[in-house]
Structure 1
Amino acid sequence: MRPTLDDKRPIFQQIREMIEDEIVDGRLLEESQAPSTNQLVAYYKINPATVLKGLNELVDAGILYKKRGVGMFVAKGAKATLLNERKQVFQEDYVARMLQEANRLGLSVDDVQQMIDSMKKRGDAK
């Protein structure tokens, strides 16, 4: 779990994103139990309804599922679903913008690829 939450974004979104990050990073495996509402409430000292809103968004998206009386668990295929969503967002938010700026600068795709390769060699991108 993140040590703190920030004040710039809704807390329920941060809770949702934190659990998504743990799934993507492999800290929460498919079919494993997600942190409980009570754990998150106690750790962050926040309202249970706020935590539930974030968790329920993950349930609605098919990332988590509820076992009555036991808690919430990571659904099968959750990691693949999240990775696919994030790749799409990455392409739209970063790659498309990068290519637009490259076009403005008169750079070819090969020029951009050379820049990426150079950054990788320097260790700036891992």
Structure 2
Amino acid sequence: MSKSLDDKKPIFIQIKEVIEDQIINEQLKEHDQIPSTNQLVQFYKVNHITVSKGINLLVEEEVVYKKRGVGMYVAEGAKEKLVLQRREGFAEEFVLPMLKEAKKLKLSDDEIVRIMKKLKGSVKVD
């Protein structure tokens, strides 16, 4: 788990995304217990309500499920669901802003592709 939270997004969203990343990267697999609210509160030094809000979003999206009195667990099919969600938002969230900036800079399609190919080889997944 990474301790770095930034001020670009609400903290509860960042905590939700950290857990999602752990599921996508298979650090957490189906039916694995996710860190408890108390563990996340202590780790990130944030309010209990903030952490609960992020985890509750995961429950609402059926990415995690609750075992009463035991904890929260990764739901079956959670990874596939998260990958699909992120793929659907990828173009709008990342590609469109990049293309708008490229247009401002008058970059050709070939230049954009060259830049992407160059950077793709240096990308490391957290």
- Which TM bucket (shorter chain)? 0.7 to 0.9
Give the TM-score, by structure 1 length.
Answer: 0.79
The Cα RMSD (Å) is 2.5
Alpha-carbon deviations, 1:22-47, whole Å to 9, x = none? 11111111110000011111222222
Tell whether 2:76 aligns with 1:76. yes
Aligned length: 123
Separation in structure 2 between the aligned mates of residue 89 and residue 57 of structure 1, nearest angstrom: 17
Which structure: larger Rg? 1
Aligned residue number for residue 53 of structure 1 = 53
SS at match of 1:5: coil
Unaligned runs of 5+ in 1: none
C-alpha change, 1:71 and 1:116, in structure 2 (3 Å) is same
Q: Which amino acid aligns with 1:68?
A: R
Q: Which amino acid aligns with 1:85?
A: Q
Unaligned runs of 5+ in 2: none
C-alpha change, 1:100 and 1:33, in structure 2 (3 Å) is same
Aligned residue runs from structure 1 range 1-126, under 5 A: 1-98=1-98, 105=106, 107=108, 113=113, 116-117=116-117, 119=118, 123-125=121-123
Q: Which amino acid aligns with 1:41?
A: V
Separation in structure 1 between the aligned mates of residue 47 and residue 99 of structure 2, nearest angstrom: 43
What is the deviation of 1:7? 3.3
C-alpha change, 1:111 and 1:45, in structure 2 (3 Å) is closer
What is the deviation of 1:107? 4.1
Q: Which amino acid aligns with 2:34?
A: A
SS at match of 1:28: coil
Separation in structure 1 between the aligned mates of residue 27 and residue 47 of structure 2, nearest angstrom: 25
SS at match of 2:33: coil
C-alpha change, 1:34 and 1:95, in structure 2 (3 Å) is same
